[in-house]
Chain A
Amino acid sequence: MRVDINPLEDAPETAQLDSFRQEMIGTSVSLIDTDVHNYTRSIDDLTPHLSLRWKTYITQGEVKLPGVSMYPKMYAQAARRDAIPYEGGVAGSEPAFSKEQLLDTWHIDCAILNPLIGIPQIKNLDLGRALMQAVNSWTQSEWLDSDPRWRGSILIHPGDPEGSADEIRRLGSDQRFVQVLLMARSSAPYGKWQMDPIYAAACEAGLPIGIHFGGGGDVPITAVGWPSYYIEDHTGMTQAFEGQVISLVCEGVFVRFPELRVVLIEGGFAWLPALMWRLDKNYRGLRDEVPWLKKLPSEYILEHFRVTTQPMEEPPNSQHLLQILDMIGSDDFLMFSTDYPHWDFDAPNRSIPQIIKGELRERIMWKNATHFYALGL
């Protein structure tokens, strides 16, 4: 049974695009969503893109695709309840449904797909490489070909830097792919030089690295061990983002790859000012450990990183958001995202407080992403 797609509350069906945007979203020209998820219905979606060897392996062993999170969620698939396309279906697995419920409902010009499939969890690197390629080819043929508004992310396996670099080179010429995708939680921090082949390939292709909420390596998911609840898992994800930012800066990735750009996706941003202050302070006393850094750590962060908005920080006093943005010190830093089809979806008309308006709002809702990803809109 197909679920009816709920029309946007209060949105007149005949609303003109410009007035819709102006009235509902508060922007004048465009709307870009920098974090949307496409899922397979099952591993069967990938078999057209696999060799006979791996098709047989998967069928014989009834292999299933790993996810990127291990805690039970409040709702099935961590999805909005209205995003399950049909009874027993998988949220985010039907391009036409996602197009209608997300792109059409909200008049989104461009949305970046991040497939949250646990390729990095696969220990058999031969299988991991085959599935990595299959996921990306599936994104290309099933999603990018289905609507010109979709953009893709190249999912890679950080445990296989050489294979990942080859994969970036394989797809880099398809300009619909606009970033390379890693998960925030990892077995080792991403600043390690072993990751260099990935960064070299990303720079060659002119693609940023997107680091997305989720994942899991061979270590506990928080800095203090395994928590009990999803609320701890979800809230504590900022630790992983902080760890990756510190590592990428201090281990000199941006010295080795001055062109490299990184997007922190679904990790929040209110923690960033404190991290920048702390890193800069420590750099003054501990710079002998990282003599390759020629600038303050905060300067590398502002130059090389961008952040997506969802899950939007919701301080009791929304004025504090403006203060946080002022502390970060750049109007180019934030890019709007919904996280569709997940339960913590941010609605374009309600999640960014109205006190953020004018040019800053335009930048967050579309200008920053258009420029950063060179979307050519």
Chain B
Amino acid sequence: MTMSVKKYDIGWVDAFQSGKLYSIRVAGRKMVLARRGDEFFALRDVCPHQGAKLSSGLLTGEVVAEYPGQQPKLRREGEFLSCPWHGWKIDLRTGCFPLKEPECVRVRRYAVHLEDERVLVALSAKGSLRQSKLD
């Protein structure tokens, strides 16, 4: 069965700055749009923890160190959205906040397309695209 998908035009690509978050509304749904270079991400604008508006958060990276005392490094900069309240970090590529691998708390994601310098958010007839279509 083919799922019907509708694309919603959000605006010009140049209207969105890299490294910034935007609160948008698409077909009545509140979303946070993130731009990282030429990539765009759209997620539901609600933190699954206590309901904070994720678009008030910030884009950041993942801090890693293999053992105590090793100088920590920031990697994948701009690929994580940090919740404005409790700082839970959501991976923009998966919508996951990993508490304990492989388990995670997931934020709903929406597919974003760039066509003719326009940013389009795609919604299925039922709402978001299924996760498998995004991965």
Interface residues, chain A, CB within 8 Å of chain B? 6, 8-10, 74-75, 80-82, 343-347, 349-351
- Across the interface, A6 reaches (CB within 8 A) one of B50, B53, B58, B86, namely B53
* CA–CA, A343 and B57, complex, Å: 11
A10 CB contacts on chain B under 8 angstroms: 46, 51
In B65-103, the 8 Å CB interface with A consists of 82, 84-87
Given A82-B53, A82-B56, A349-B51, is A9 in contact with B86 using a C-beta cutoff of 8 Å?
Answer: no
**8 new A-B pairs (CB below 8 Å) besides A75-B87, A350-B50?**
A6-B53, A9-B45, A9-B46, A9-B53, A80-B84, A81-B57, A343-B85, A347-B52
- Whole-angstrom distance between the alpha carbons of A6 and B86 in the complex? 16
Verify if B30 is at the interface (C-beta below 8 Å from A).
yes
Report the bound CA distance from A81 to B87 in whole Å. Answer: 10
Alpha-carbon separation in the docked complex, A80 to B51 (Å)? 13
**Does the CB pair A9–B84 fall under 8 Å?**
no
Task: Tell me which of A75, A82, A344, A347 contacts B51 (CB under 8 A).
Answer: A347
Q: Which residues of B contact A345 (CB under 8 A)?
A: 50, 85-86
CB–CB A350/B87 < 8 A: no
Q: Can you sample 20 A-B contacts with CB below 8 Å?
A: A9-B30, A9-B46, A9-B51, A74-B87, A75-B84, A80-B52, A80-B56, A81-B57, A81-B58, A81-B84, A81-B85, A343-B85, A343-B86, A344-B85, A345-B50, A345-B85, A345-B86, A347-B52, A349-B51, A351-B50
Contact A346 B50 (CB under 8 A): yes
Nearest A residue to B49, CB-CB: A350
Interface of chain A: mostly helix, strand, loop or mixed: loop
List chain A residues, Cβ under 8 A from B45: 9
Residues of A contacting B53 in the complex (Cβ-Cβ under 8 angstroms): 6, 9, 82
Chain A positions within 8 Å of B49 at CB level: 350
Complex: A82 Cα to B53 Cα, angstroms: 9
CA distance A8 to B82 in the complex (A): 19
Q: In the complex, A351→B65 CA distance in Å?
A: 32
Residue of B nearest to A75 (CB): B87
How far apart are the CA atoms of A8 and B51 in the complex, in Å?
Answer: 9
Cα A82 to Cα B87 in complex, Å, equals 12
Chain B positions within 8 Å of A74 at CB level = 82, 87
Top 6 nearest A-B pairs (CB, nearest first) are: A81-B84, A82-B56, A350-B50, A347-B50, A6-B53, A74-B87
Residues of A within 8 A of B85 (CB): 80-81, 343-345, 347
